[in-house]
Amino acid sequence: MKTQDGKFASTVRVGEKGQIVIPKAARDMFDIKPGDTLLLLADDKRGIAIVRRDLFTDFMDNILRTMNTPVEPED
């Protein structure tokens, strides 16, 4: 069920082997193709997130670049 521009909600069923199917609308939204590598992040209190590896890599590169930028001392 697409809820609004840039948003998507759906239910999925977990199969016998623990697999889920990512709905086509969500795959299209994030340009997920067969063979793509996804990153699964899990926290026992916050839940599970699935992210395309390239998006997560870009995100981490930006964080690390920011961390390596010298901070100007405050007066």
pLDDT of 35 reads: 92
Selection from 2-6, 7-11, 33-37 with the highest mean pLDDT? 33-37
More confident residue, 63 or 28: 28
More confident residue, 73 or 2: 73
63: three-class secondary structure by DSSP: helix
Residues of 18-31 as b/e, b for ≥16 C-beta within 10 angstroms?
Answer: eeeeebeebeeebe
Asked if residue 41 lies in contact with residue 49, where contact means CB atoms within 8 angstroms, the answer is yes
